[in-house]
Amino acid sequence: MLTSDSIVVGGGPAGSACAWKLKTMGCDVLILDKETFPRPKVCAGWITPKVWDILGITPADYPYALTQFNRIHYSVFGFKIPVITRQYAIRRYEFDKWMISRTHVPVFTHTVKNIVKINEDYIIDNKYRCKYLVGAGGTHCPVFKIFFSFLHQRAEKALIVAVEKEYRCDYLETDCRIWFFDHGLPGYSWYLPKQDGWLNIGLGGKFLKLKTSGKTIMDHWHEFTKKLQLLSLIHKPPQNPKGHTYYLHQKKQINQRENAFIIGDSAGLSTLDMGEGIHAAIASGLMAAKAIAGKKKFNPGSLSKFSLPGILVAGYKK
């Protein structure tokens, strides 16, 4: 049985940030992930300036293609609102590979099925043992399911359903566009061009409102792609979009139980207005690492619940 002081289940931004911080503080840690990196990841890939700040680097330090937006074109109920800002876009395929490579910790490809606590240790599938356990496996994280799901029910009203597609194409505009509440969508849709000819388009909405609206998320997807064609933003709809779900930030969440922690999407920390989760994922991962090392109390509930104020402020910062 392989033993480590800490084991992080999930190697995305939350898990990688946690493992990286533990390593820099001299702690023994390894990562388990069901997939081998690099791997495709359904995500718009929105990065706020705060991400670089908490990672202690500048955008120039990032080794892969990075898109900077100095303006975002919002549309709310049809009213157009251009916003001066400074935001970034990455490809998760590259970003996650970079994040996990900079941890310099052992990474094992393993699908976690069972975890039991024996005395002070957590035993994972009779193969791995640790004193500290961090769940960073996303919405369906096994650590959440086994140790936290019975402590609090995730609120259905906080569940977001999203559909998106990232693909290479000759996109027709380089600005980022976002439409709120288009065609009755209880959420927003986006057009996010990236470096090297990559384009990410997609939409997300509240599950409960979609359920009672008479329209499915795919109905909205078809309307959205037709609109993009009419606006001459794409030539034709891309095939085989991918769907995923996640939870918005909720009140009174239990994110620590003894020496087990949940971070990122496992904890449901995406912002209430934009559903942005990469900053919260990384920040909560760093928090968990500091808590394990005895440096700071674990309190991911203190993270910002909204993205828009930061987007507005970023336009006035150099």
Angle at 254 between CA 258 and CA 148, to 5 degrees: 70
Tell whether 258 is covered by a domain: yes
pLDDT digit string (tens) for 144-160? Answer: 999 999 987 789 999 99
Q: Compute the distance between CA of residue 272 and CA of residue 228 in angstroms, rounded to an integer.
A: 26
Whether 171 is in a domain gets the answer no
- What is the spatial distance between Cα 62 and Cα 195, in angstroms, rounded to a whole number? 13
Q: Give a yes or no: residue 183 inside a domain.
A: no
Q: What is the CATH number of the domain that holds 283?
A: 3.50.50.60
DSSP 153-204: PPPGGGEEEEEEEEEE---S--SEEEEESGGG-SEEEEEEE-GGGEEEEEEE
At 176 the pLDDT is 97
Whether 190 is in a domain gets the answer no
Q: Is the pTM of this model over 0.85?
A: yes
Task: Examine residue 66 and state whether it is found in any structural domain, yes or no.
Answer: no
In this prediction, residue 318 has a pLDDT band, given cuts at 50, 70 and 90, of low
Position 197 in a domain: no
Residue 217 lies in a domain: no
For residue 281, give its domain range.
2-44+93-153+248-314
Dist. CA 240–CA 238, nearest whole Å? 7
pLDDT level of residue 299 (50, 70, 90 thresholds): very high
Q: Which of 13-17, 128-132, 314-318 has the lowest mean pLDDT?
A: 314-318
b (16+ CB within 10 A) / e for 103-115: bebebeeeebeeb
Give the 3-state secondary structure of residue 214. coil
Distance of alpha carbon 116 from its chain centroid, rounded? Answer: 27
DSSP category for residue 238? P
How many domains does the structure of the chain reveal?
1
pLDDT digits (tens, 9 = 90+) for 178-194: 999 999 999 999 999 99
pLDDT digits 0-9 by tens, 211-260: 999 999 999 999 999 999 999 999 999 999 999 999 999 887 899 999 99
